[in-house]
Amino acid sequence: MSEVEYEPVSVKEVLAEMKDTAELLIDLSYSAVLLGSDDIAEEVLELEHRMDILQMKARMSLLMAARNPEDAEALAPVLGVVGAAEKISDAAGDIAKVVLEDIGLPEAMRAALPEAVETLVRARLTESSPLAGRDLGDVSLETTTGVRVIAIRREGGWLVDPGSETRLEANDVLLLRGPEEAVGDVYTDATDREFVPADAPEPAIDDLERAVDSIVLMKNMSELAVDLAYGAVLFDSTDVAEEVLELEAEVDALQSRFEAWTLQAAARVDDPVSLRGLVQLASATEVISDAALEISEGVLRGLGTHPVVAEAVRASEEMIIRLTVAPGSILDGATLRDEMVGTETGMRVIAVRRGDEGSTTQGRFGRDQGEWVVSPRANTQLHEGDIVIAKGTPEGAARLGELAGDTS
């Protein structure tokens, strides 16, 4: 284990890297399970080690900055954000160990995960591909198609979280994530072959099917909670933080049901030990939702957002934006599907706060969520005055702002 000594660092830059690393770890850990890839799982553990170093540097710098009780009060929520990112990292490591330690996972789980992580495929870039020899920034995949290259395997090593200056080379193995139709088109461009989605095997036992469905929903909710938590911190929004609290409670309830269904299924499967991976996956996913709540706890408790945290979120690779739908804009009266927001901009709309026009809309869980629509679907209609919270690239954010007529 390498030694870590104090050195002056930019807390903002460390927190931004921790946020990006935590989100990448969630992506890669579930991708490792989906693909059964020891290589990706090993990368998760490497990133987990990197996160350990980052959190130590952040804690040292924050301790040096606290000189009186007022400083301690202001910095306490920042320590919470640091600790939460580390918890996400540890949970991702536990998910990766399901693969590395051959703990066991029903095939039905791997079949269900593509939907949980959108569609994720592995594509080998051919020499004749129009993508070969071009930078990711030049290709603008995420902005034009909604598909993101989350990792590249090249000459036996992995490039995780490639940036706009990363050049795609022939024989690169790309991990692509995004909407199924768009992923299929990019896969064809990369490989010169037609994309054929894999058939999903059906679980033979109802209780096991319910358990698998619970984990998929827990995973989706936990990821959404992390996104909303950083949004709550960035915008110092108690309303958004309260949605994180609701999601965390939903995940807890799902885990309880998952445990009951798994125990019932264990009595009817040939090899109950094969369910160990499910249990570890569910436990780690629940930790991620708990960590999301910790990120937003300072906002919930009225301590506000420390400027360094807000700046770190703004400086991260995937930015979170808030914009208002202007009257007469392209999005006024349109659904997210109508304007193909995901593929046109590469932005993912994670929440909508209704203006007067949409105040009666119900949320995704069927309960009345008042003014908020969390994780809106493609048929969600936007109206003037709606506030949209979305996540993606700066280029995509600018395009979404144009569609919304938001000039701020």
pLDDT tens for residues 180-236? 778 888 989 999 888 876 555 555 556 667 777 777 778 888 888 898 888 888 888
Q: What is the pLDDT of residue 106?
A: 67
- Kind of pairing, strands 157-160 and 148-154? antiparallel
Where in the chain is CATH 1.20.58.220?
11-106+203-311
Q: What is the pLDDT of residue 364?
A: 39
CATH superfamily of 318-404: Regulator of K+ conductance, C-terminal domain (3.30.70.1450)
Task: Identify the CATH class of 117-191.
Answer: alpha beta
Q: What is the pLDDT of residue 89?
A: 94
What is the C-alpha separation between 115 and 119, in angstroms, rounded? 6
Q: What is the pLDDT of residue 1?
A: 54
What is the C-alpha separation between 151 and 159, in angstroms, rounded? 6
What is the C-alpha separation between 125 and 130, in angstroms, rounded? 9
Q: What is the pLDDT of residue 371?
A: 63
Q: Compute the residue count for the chain.
A: 408
- Per-residue pLDDT for the chain (408 aa), expressed as one digit of tens each? 556 565 666 778 888 888 888 888 888 888 788 777 787 888 889 889 889 988 888 888 888 777 777 777 778 888 888 999 999 999 999 999 988 988 777 666 655 555 544 567 788 899 999 999 998 888 877 767 778 887 888 876 777 668 778 899 999 988 887 777 788 889 899 998 888 765 555 555 566 677 777 777 788 888 888 988 888 888 888 888 888 898 899 889 888 888 888 888 777 777 777 788 888 888 999 999 999 999 998 888 887 777 888 888 777 767 788 888 999 999 888 888 776 676 677 788 888 888 754 444 443 333 333 467 767 877 888 888 888 888 877 778 888 888 888 766
First-residue to last-residue Cα distance in the chain: 47
DSSP-assigned states of every residue in 292-350: HHHHHHHHHTT----HHHHHHHHHSSSEEEEEEPPTTSTTTT-BTTTTTHHHHH--EEE
Which of 343, 408, 327, 336 has its CA nearest to residue 379? 336
Backbone phi, psi, residue 174, to 5°: -100, 135
**Encoded amino acid at 350, one letter:** I
Q: What is the pLDDT of residue 237?
A: 83
- Kind of pairing, strands 319-324 and 157-160? unpaired
Per CATH, the architecture of 11-106+203-311 is what? Answer: Up-down Bundle (1.20)
Where in the chain is CATH 3.30.70.1450?
117-191, 318-404
Indicate whether this model's pTM tops 0.75. Answer: no
Q: What is the pLDDT of residue 284?
A: 93
